[in-house]
Amino acid sequence: MTQPMKPDRSRRSERSRQAILEATRALVSEVGYGKVAIETIAARAGVGKQTIYRWWPSKGAVIFDAFLALSEGAEGQGTALPDTGDVEADLKAVMRATAAEFADPEFERPVRALNNEISNDPGLAAQYHEKLARPVDEAKKERLRSAQRAGQLAADADLDLALEVLYAPLFQRWLHRSGPLTAAYADSLVDVWLRAFRP
């Protein structure tokens, strides 16, 4: 007589975790950061409050993990950037993916809602930069350091400034809805950037 299969608790837990993250992103998009509560996240995700508190200590922690998971899913590899040895090809691949991500309504809506909150809440802005922006920027700078070592990028380039020059035009176009976020536009940003920062 065969034994009945035991339920896979790890699979069930991962489904619950993903449901919580998805519910969190949807609620931030719909009602704004300030109006999201653990109770509403739990109700939307179909879990108990204690399930959320088992993994996260606060509403802010859930929200930041929700956005971090969204970025990781879009890139497919967390914060790591490609390093094929060709900085132009790698940056074009990354910038095309970033443009496509920001043009995707499923990504765009919650990120726009979060940005609206960040612009009015210095504390939230500090948390965002510490938990999300800084690790991503460090990964980007590591790729640029690799390009410097390969002689493809000026050795004395200010890498913080270089990142701002590369990403700010795309972010401004997205923020003000002033033009399409296309692959051609992403490529043009990299072309201009390389003329400024190559040796």
Q: What is the mean pLDDT of the chain?
A: 86
Percent of the chain scoring above 90 in pLDDT:
56
* pLDDT for the residue 107: 79
Q: How many H-runs (helices) and E-runs (strands) does the chain carry?
A: 10, 0
* Predicted TM-score of the model (pTM): 0.74
Does the pLDDT at position 7 exceed 50?
no
* pLDDT for the residue 13: 86
Q: Which two tokens stand for residue 191?
A: 């072309």
* pLDDT for the residue 124: 78
Give exposure, 71-100, as e/b (b: 16+ Cβ within 10 Å). Answer: beeebeeebebbeeeebeebbbbbbbbbbe
Lowest mean pLDDT among 41-55, 116-130, 147-161, 185-199: 116-130
CA distance linking residue 84 with residue 90, whole number of Å: 7
The secondary element (H helix, E strand) that includes residue 78 is none
Measured CA to CA in angstroms, residue 66 lies from 31, 71, 82, 110, 161 at distances of 16, 9, 24, 10, 28
Instruction: Tell how far CA 121 is from the center of its chain.
Output: 19
Over residues 64-89, mean pLDDT: 73
pLDDT per position as a tens digit, 22-36 = 999 889 888 887 888
Dihedral pair phi/psi, residue 182, rounded to 5°: -105, 165
Lowest mean pLDDT among 8-17, 98-107, 157-166, 176-185: 8-17
